[in-house]
Amino acid sequence: MKIGIVGCAGRMGRALVTQVVATEGAQLVGGTERPHGGLLGKDMGTLIGRDTLGAEITNNPGALFEKAQVVIDFTTPAATRSHLALAMETGTALVIGTTGLSGEDHELLAQAAEKIALVQAPNMSVGVTVLTALTRQVAALMGPEYDIEVLEMHHRHKVDAPSGTALGLGQAAAEGRGVKLDEVARTTRDGHTGPRPDGEIGFATLRGGDVIGDHTVIFASNGERLELTHKASDRTLFARGAVLAAMWLKNKDPGHYSMFDVLGL
């Protein structure tokens, strides 16, 4: 499987390069990066302390999409929109781990999925995918007397809040309860907020240090509390999931797939 990586010089990009190189049947064909830092034109082995991988770092995503069978994208919403257009032009499959996507962005994903195969998830971790499935199941089992709160913490550099993973967990909880998340979500609390409304799904956001990603879904009622937690201690777990998704996309029909599809859940 010929794999390209956009935004290859960042922390996640380097983890993806390492994982592609370590995956049997995967071939790294190139990566893109913005024109700074002196990396353009260099071999991607430079990113992971290797002499040569035979794949170049460029600032030409169009050329990368032409030669790759699948491109992995952990960038920004604006960049992902551009990459979706390129993927539709070239017929290239996509794995998208970009967070902070808007409702309009999701509409673009749906349009692109009519022409290409893509896997999109706010978190590519196998563990988080299982946590999301469990959250949906538990929310369906627990009655309305259980308040649902989603707590997340990430490193100080993360720019979106709540995290895409937290919102995905909230969405799973809402689906379990048979409600629309937009109608019950509470993403901020400040000042005199009054009593907690029945059925609300709350979010709490923490930022600091180098935390890769901690997520807890809390089901709290009078007398007891159930907590489902996932803690990431190594960014490579996201890379493993993304490359697994990229390999899974081989010969797939156009469609908007998730990590549930990849794992057969």
Determine the straight-line distance between the first and last CA of the chain, rounded to whole angstroms: 24
Q: Residue 235: its pLDDT value, please?
A: 83
Measured in whole angstroms, the distance separating CA 181 from the mean position of its chain's CA atoms is 19
Which residues are known binding-site members for NADP(+)?
34
Q: Is the pLDDT of residue 38 over 90?
A: no
The band of 136, judged by pLDDT with boundaries at 50, 70 and 90, is very high
Task: Give the residue-averaged pLDDT of 82-88.
Answer: 96
pTM of the model: 0.81
Task: Give the residue-averaged pLDDT of 195-213.
Answer: 95
Q: Residue 34: its pLDDT value, please?
A: 87
Task: Give the residue-averaged pLDDT of 95-101.
Answer: 91
The band of 150, judged by pLDDT with boundaries at 50, 70 and 90, is very high
Residue spans of the domains in the chain: they are 2-120+235-263, 126-232
Task: Give the residue-averaged pLDDT of 217-224.
Answer: 97
Task: Give the residue-averaged pLDDT of 54-64.
Answer: 95
Q: Residue 160: its pLDDT value, please?
A: 87
Q: Is the pLDDT of residue 50 over 90?
A: no
Using the Cα atoms of residue 23, residue 79, residue 174 and residue 185 in order, give the sign of their dihedral: positive
- pLDDT per residue over 161-181, tens digit each? 999 899 999 999 999 999 999
Task: Give the residue-averaged pLDDT of 46-60.
Answer: 92
Give whole-number Cα distances, 118 to 9, 88, 92, 205, 241, in Å.
23, 11, 9, 29, 14
Active site residues: 154, 158
CATH architecture of the domain formed by 2-120+235-263: 3-Layer(aba) Sandwich (3.40)
Q: Kindly report the average pLDDT of the chain as a whole number.
A: 94
Query: Rounded to an integer, what distance in angstroms lies between the CA atom of residue 129 and that of residue 2?
Result: 25
Which residues are known binding-site members for (S)-2,3,4,5-tetrahydrodipicolinate?
155, 164-165
Using the Cα atoms of residue 211, residue 174, residue 76 and residue 123 in order, give the sign of their dihedral: positive
Fold of 126-232: Dihydrodipicolinate Reductase; domain 2 (3.30.360)
Which residues are known binding-site members?
7-12, 33-34, 97-99, 121-124, 155, 164-165
Q: Is the pLDDT of residue 132 over 80?
A: yes
Q: Is the pLDDT of residue 207 over 80?
A: yes
Q: Is the pLDDT of residue 247 over 80?
A: yes
